Structure 1
Amino acid sequence: MRNLLSPRWLGGAVLALALAGCDASRESVTLHERDAVPDNLSQWHVVEALDGTLSLNDRVTPYDLNTALFTDYAHKLRTVWMPEGTSAAYGEEDFEYPVGTIISKTFYYPLAEDGSVRRTDDYSQDFAGNGLNLSKVKLIETRMLVKRVDGWQALPYVWNEAQTDAVLEIAGDAKRLQMVSDDGSSTGFTYVVPDFNQCSGCHADNHTKKAVRPIGPRARHLNKSYAYESGGENQLIYWQQMGYLSGLPDLTEVPHNVNFKDATASLEERARSYLDINCGHCHNPSGAADTSGLMLYSAEQDMRKLGVCKPPVAAGTGSGDRRFAIVPGSPDESILNFRVESTDPGAMMPELGRSLTHEEGTELLKDWIASLPGNCS
C-alpha cells in the first residue's frame, strides 16, 4: 500500500464498506484513505480479474456515453459505485457526487487471432455479463476517480501482461501495440498511459479552480439507453431507480448530446457533440485553453467563438500556416482540421490521449465545415 504524501509505504488505514447481497466469497468494495491508496487495483474490489472475467462487484454499475473521447480506438468499460445510502444530486452541468464515490474506466482492445489488437467498433465479443471476457480482450489500464472530502483524486493503474491485476503507476506508462483493421491492414503505435499530473490536468476543466472533476458522467453524456443485463433502460432513470441519482427532472428537460455516428442526427449535432467531449473540457470559458478564445463546449452558440473566421491567438506549427480556425466550406484551409488530423506532438489536438488520428472523427468535422455557409473574405 503506497502513501502518496510521503515516500513511506503504509499498511492499513482502510474503510471497508459493506454491501448488501454481495457474494460471501468476494470482498466488498473497499474505500482506501487518500494518503494510503493500494498499489494493486484488486485491493479496491471494484473491478477484478476473477475466473477469466473482469468482474464488477455488487452495485458497481456500468455506463456509457452518447459520444466518447477518442483514445487510439481503445474500447472502454466505465463504472460507478457509491456508498450504501448515498446518491449524486442532479445538476445540468455537473452532478454533486457523494464522498466515497468511485468512478472507474478500463481501457482495452479486442484481441486478434495473432495476438495483436483489433481496430473495431464491434463490442459484441467483449463482454461476459456486465464484465469483460478476458480471453477476448487485452487490458491496458484502469483509471480511477475517487471522491474525497476535499475533492476528487485521480489514480492510474496499468494491467500486467497476465491480466491478473493492475499496478498503480503514478508516472504513467507506454505500451507498444500492433493494431489490425477489418481490411487486414496493420498499424504500429504507442499507447500512452497518462501520469498522475496529466490525469489531473485534463480533469481540471476549470483552470482557475484547478479542481479535478469527472468529465464523462454528466447529464448530456449519460442521457441515453444502456443494455443492462436486466434489459435496456435510460441510464439516468436507471441510476434514479437504484438510488444513485436524486433530483432528476423529466427527461424532456435534460440536455442530450448525440452519438457522433448517428446518421439520423443532423451534421451540426454530431459535430458539436464530438467537439464537446473531445475538446470542450479545455476549450470553454474557464478551461485551460480559455486564452485561445476558441470555445468548443456544447453551450457555445457564437459562431466566431466556435472558430468561424477566427484567427489564431498564436501562429506557428500549431496553425499549419492556415489563417482561421474554421473557414466555412473549406476544411483544408481550417486550422481545426489541421490540428485534429495531425499526430505531431507540437500541433495535434487534443494534446494528450492519442497517438493516432481518429479517421471517423476527422471525416465528420470535414463534412461539417464543408457544409457551413459563408466565407472569411
Structure 2
Amino acid sequence: MKNNNQISRKLIYSIWSLILLVGLAGCESYKKDVHLFPVEEVPEKLSAWNLLRLEKGVLFPAERALPYDLNTGLFTDYAHKFRTVWLPEGAFATYGEEQFNYPVGTILSKTFYYPQESSGVVRRTDDFSADYVEGSFGQALDLNRVRLVETRLLIRRQENWQALPYVWNKEQTEATLEIAGDVKSFQLVSLNGQQENLSYVVPDANQCAGCHAEKFTEKAISPLGPKARHLNKDFPYRSGVENQLLFWQKAGYLRGLPDLKSLPRNANIYDATVSLEDRARAYLDINCGHCHNPTGPADTSGLMLHHSETDWRKLGLCKPPIAAGTGSGGHLFAIVPGEPENSILNFRVESTAPGAMMPELGRSVVHTEGVELLKQWVSSLPGSCT
C-alpha cells in the first residue's frame, strides 16, 4: 500500500511538473525577443524570427518592434501596409537627412494586405481604420477583416542590407520564404462595386534590388521608406499620438535628431490643405525618385524626380526623352505644361503595358488617385513647349 501511495504521489508530482514546465515554456515563448539569424541561416518560416506574432486572430509586433507609417507611401496595387522597425537591445540609428545610419541587426518589416469582404474579394480603399483591432489603430491587425499577402524583411547586415520576402498561406497562420518571388491572383472591388482582376507580384531578390539600390553602380540596397521626410508625421501609439521621429528618439532608437521644425517633411497626397505641387512632388518622390535620381537605375534618362530636384528641365518640363521607345506613347516631352494628355509622364503612369508603364515594378493596375493628382498638377503648370 505504501509503495502504491508513493507511486501515486510521484505520478501526480510528475504530471504537475510537466504542466508547470509546459506553462512556463508558453510564457517564455510569449516573452522571448526577436531571433536575429545569421545571413547564411535565414529560416524558411517567418514565425521563426518572432518579429510578428499571431494570437486569437490578431497579428501584432514583438514587444520592441515599433510600428510606423509614412506621409505618402509607395503605391503597390492598392495594398495596405503594416510596417515595423526593430533594433537589437542597446543599439540605435543615427540621423541623416537622406538616410539614417541603421545599426547592424536592424530589421524592418512591411506586411502587405488587403481589407477583405466576406465573399473573399479584396477591397480597394484608402481607409485603414477598419483594419486594426479596436483601440489599437496602427498597432495590431485584425485578421478577420484583412487578407495577408506577404511580409518583406529588410535586415541590416555587416556589409549590406538583406531582403527576404515571406508569402502568407491561405489560413493566415504562417508565411514561407519565397526567394524566387510569387504571383497572387485576387478580385479587387472598388467602393462603387466595380471589380477588376489583380495579379499581385511578390518580387524576387533581383527585383528588390532594382528599386532599393538607390546608388545603382554600387548594387547595394537600402531602405526607401523610413527616412526623415517620410517619417516626419504623427502616429497613434498606445501611449498617445506623437511625432514618430520624437518617439523613436525617446525609445532610444534614434540619436542626433535636429530640431523638428528644421526637418524635411513630405506631403500626404490626400491632404487637401497642402499645395497641389507639394502633393504631386511627394507622390513622384516616393514612387519614382528611388530610380529617377542622379545615382539611381534611371539616371541615364535625365529625368530626375527625387524630392530635392529644383531644375524644372530635369523634372521633365519640355524635356524630350533620351530613350523611351514605345514608352513615349508618341509624345514629344516628359511634361507639357497645361497638357497632361500630351505628356509622357502622364502617359506612363496611366499605362499597364509592359515597356510603357511606370513604375515598372510593384503594380499591375492603374493608381486612379495618383493619375488624377499628376493630371491636375501638370494642368496647373504655366508655360509652353513651343
TM-score bracket for this pair, using the shorter chain length:
over 0.9
1:24 corresponding residue in structure 2: 28
**AA aligned opposite 2:103:** P
Distance 2:309 2:196 in 1: 37
**CA deviation profile, 1:68-115 (whole Å, cap 9, x unmatched):** 000000000000000010110000110000000000000000011211
Aligned to 2:252: 243
1:305 corresponds in structure 2 to: 314
Pairing of 1:217-296 with structure 2 (within 5 A): 217-296=226-305
**Maintained 8 Å contact 1:79/1:104:** yes
CA drift at 1:209: 1.4
RMSD over aligned Cα atoms: 1.1
**Per the alignment, in what secondary structure is the counterpart of residue 35 of structure 1?**
helix
Instruction: Give 2:55's match in structure 1, choosing from 43, 50, 53.
Output: 50
Cα distance in 1 between the residues matched to 2:239 and 2:290: 33
Alignment correspondent of 1:122: 127
Offset at 1:157? 0.5
Instruction: Determine the C-alpha separation between the residues in 2 that align with 1:134 and 1:265.
Output: 34
1:111-260 → structure 2 map (5 Å cutoff): 111-128=116-133, 129=136, 130-260=139-269
Kindly provide the amino acid, as one letter, of the partner of residue 73 in structure 1. Y
Q: Structure 2: how far apart are the matches of 1:175 and 1:201?
A: 21
Secondary structure of the 2:286 match is helix
Q: CA deviation at 1:315?
A: 4.1
Matched residue type, 1:24: E
Q: Deviations over 1:6-40 (max 9, x none)?
A: xxxxxxxxxxxxxxxx9634232000000010000
* Correspondence 1:101 to 2:106: yes
Paired residues of 1:48 and 1:165 also in contact (CA < 8 A): no
Match of 2:4 in 1: none
Q: CA deviation at 1:208?
A: 1.6
Deviations 1:103-131 (A, max 9, x none): 00000000112111011111112112311
- Once the two structures are TM-superposed, the CA of residue 237 in structure 1 deviates from its matched residue by 0.2
For 1:288-342, what per-residue CA distance to the aligned partner results, in whole angstroms no more than 9, with x for missing partners?
A: 0000000000000000000000000024210000000000000000000000010
Deviation at 1:231, TM superposition (A): 1.1
CA drift of 1:229 comes to 1.5
Task: State the SS of the aligned residue for 2:280.
Answer: helix
Give the letter aligned to residue 81 of structure 2. Answer: K
Question: What is the alpha-carbon distance in structure 1 between the residues aligned to residue 143 and residue 269 of structure 2?
Answer: 29
Q: 1:259 Cα shift?
A: 0.1
Distance 1:346 1:204 in 2: 21
2:335 is matched with: 326
- Cα separation, partners in 2 of 1:315 and 1:237, compared to 1, 3 Å: closer
What residue in structure 2 maps to residue 69 of structure 1?
74
SS at match of 1:104: strand
Structure ranking higher in helix proportion: 2
Aligned to 1:59: 64
Equivalence for 2:90: 85
Q: Secondary structure of the equivalent of 1:200?
A: helix
Larger radius of gyration: 2
For 1:208 and 1:317, the matched residues in 2 are separated by 26
8 Å Cα contact 1:49-1:165 kept in structure 2 = no
> TM-score when scaled to structure 2?
0.91
| Structure 2 Cα separation of the partners of residues 178 and 73 of structure 1 | 12
Matched position secondary structure for 1:120: coil
Match of 1:4 in 2: none
CA distance in 2, matches of 1:23, 1:339: 53
Code of the residue aligned with 1:123 in structure 2: it is F
Bigger shift: residues 213-222 or 191-200: 191-200
Alpha-carbon distance in 1 for matches of 2:191, 2:158: 47
CA contact (8 A) 1:112 1:180 kept: no
Q: Distance in 1 between matches of 2:27 and 2:250?
A: 22
The one-letter code matched in structure 1 to 2:365 is L
The structure 1 segments of at least 4 consecutive aligned residues displaced by more than 6 Å after TM superposition are none
Quote the residue 1:339 is aligned against: 348
* Counterpart amino acid of residue 331 in structure 2: R
Between the aligned partners of 1:28 and 1:252, the Cα distance in structure 2 is: 35
8 A contact 1:41–1:48 mirrored in 2: no
Counting aligned pairs with the same residue, the percent is 63
Q: Judging changes above 3 Å, is the alpha-carbon distance between structure 1 residues 23 and 206 closer, same or farther for their aligned structure 2 residues? A: farther
Alignment of structure 1 residues 26-41 onto 2, 5 Å: 26=30, 27-41=32-46
Matching residue within 361, 367, 378 for 1:358:
367
Question: Residue type matched to 1:371 in 2?
Answer: S
Which amino acid is the alignment partner of residue 162 of structure 1? E
Does the 8 Å CA contact 1:239/1:245 hold for their aligned counterparts?
yes
- Aligned-partner SS, 1:208: helix
- Mapped to 2, the partners of 1:124 and 1:373 lie a distance apart of 39
